[in-house]
Copies of this chain bind each other. A is one copy, B any other.
Amino acid sequence: MPPETTQLLSETFKLLADPTRLAIVFACKEAPRPVGEIAGALDLSQSLVSHHLRLLRAGRLVAAERHGKHVLYRLNDAHIARVLTDMAEHVAEDHEEPHP
């Protein structure tokens, strides 16, 4: 495992490591959504959502596409969706240790 790969990987995980940003990612998981709609749905300022989307786009977790006045954001590829699903399943598993 080369250190530069570890570095890049950790930076990508870092993008999912903030609750607000993660909520934004989930918000455009099913269908591409414009910034304002995401902000409205999550009750966040447009500015904040835009800042986060900028980072997410830089890390290639989401992709943007312009439609008239709106800019639609979507997940970048299937890997991301799978990572989200698998990690969601992980945390969904119950935390119980078997009772001795």
Taking Cβ atoms with an 8 Å cutoff, the residues of A that contact B are: 1, 3, 5-14, 16-19, 21-23, 26, 60, 77, 79-80, 82-83, 86-91, 93, 95
- Given A1-B26, A83-B83, residue A88 in contact with residue B19 (CB < 8 A): no
Q: State the main secondary structure of chain A at its contact with B.
A: helix
Contact residues in B for A13 (Cβ distance below 8 Å): 13-14, 16-17, 22, 87
What residues on B are CB-neighbors of A8 within 8 Å?
Answer: 91
Number of copies: 2
| CB-contact partner of A17 in B10, B86, B95, under 8 A | B10
Residues of B within 8 Å of A87, CB to CB, are: 9, 12-13, 79, 83
